[in-house]
């Protein structure tokens, strides 16, 4: 399995969706971009990391990372995105010293990466399937429907039907049916 390293590129608001934002991850060459939907709370958590380092180093997650580093300076981690199921990316943090693995939400893994400097990797085929071409001044970003949770898919299906966008409704219904049958 070949992996591609990702870097955090920024946050975008989701138009027409209160409380949802998109975290943008790009490959290191900024050729492709992956959008990760998360909530307003995660936007806040990531946003407050833009404060000066002397203030940020007093936040609980940053203090915990400092404590972990003192306990064992050989500990290093790696974040891997290996798949997607039911609107959720399968994400693991691996302790590279003990090879212990921990399942984590991708948005939390991104925050962990920002705090700790841990590298994020994605399966190459998954990246090609889920990402779109990167654009520096991108105002809109496509989000694959398989990355939406079931509740959001149903909301979008209802909107598509009400606006008589039957092509989109068909795609959304197909994804919902696929999840019900798996």
Q: Model confidence over 124-146: pLDDT tens digits?
A: 999 999 999 998 876 667 778 88
Cα–Cα distances in Å, from 61 out to 66, 97, 99, 156, 173?
A: 9, 21, 22, 35, 40
Long-range interactions of 69-77: CB distance < 8 A, separation 24+: 72/97, 76/118, 77/112, 77/116, 77/118
- Can you tell me the mean pLDDT for 29-57? 90
Q: How far is CA 20 from CA 29, 35, 75, 177, in A?
A: 27, 12, 34, 24
> Rounded distance, CA 169 to CA 156, Å?
8
Give the three-class secondary structure for 146.
helix
Q: What band does 123 get if pLDDT is binned at 50, 70 and 90?
A: very high
Give, as one character, the DSSP assignment of residue 51.
S
CA–CA dist 157, 148 (Å, integer): 12
What SS3 class is residue 42? Answer: helix
Q: Beta strand 119-123 with 77-85: parallel, antiparallel or unpaired?
A: parallel
Domain 3-146 has CATH 3.10.690.10: yes
50 band by pLDDT with thresholds 50, 70 and 90: confident
Phi, psi of 67 (to 5 degrees): -65, -40
Q: Where are the alpha helices (DSSP H) in the chain?
A: 40-47, 53-56, 60-71, 106-116, 124-130, 150-162, 166-181
Global pTM?
0.83
Query: How would residue 156 be classed by pLDDT, with cut points 50, 70 and 90?
Result: confident
């Amino acid at each position: 399995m070949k992996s591609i390293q990702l870097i955090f590129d920024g946050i975008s608001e989701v138009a027409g969706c209160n409380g949802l934002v998109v975290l943008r991850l790009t490959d290191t060459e900024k050729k492709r971009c992956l959008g990760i939907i998360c909530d307003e709370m995660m936007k806040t958590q990531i946003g407050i990391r833009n404060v000066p380092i002397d203030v940020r180093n007093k936040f609980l997650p940053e203090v915990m990372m400092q404590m972990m580093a003192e306990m064992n300076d050989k500990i290093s981690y790696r974040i891997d995105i290996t798949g997607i199921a039911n609107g959720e990316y399968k994400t693991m943090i691996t302790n590279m010293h003990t090879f212990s693995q921990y399942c984590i939400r991708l948005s939390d893994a991104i925050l962990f990466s920002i705090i700790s400097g841990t590298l994020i990797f994605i399966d190459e085929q998954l990246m090609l399937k889920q990402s779109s071409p990167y654009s520096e001044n991108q105002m809109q970003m496509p989000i694959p429907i398989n990355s939406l949770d079931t509740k959001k898919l149903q909301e979008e299906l209802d909107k598509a039907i009400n606006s008589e966008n039957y092509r989109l409704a068909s795609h959304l219904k197909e994804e919902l049916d696929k999840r019900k049958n798996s």
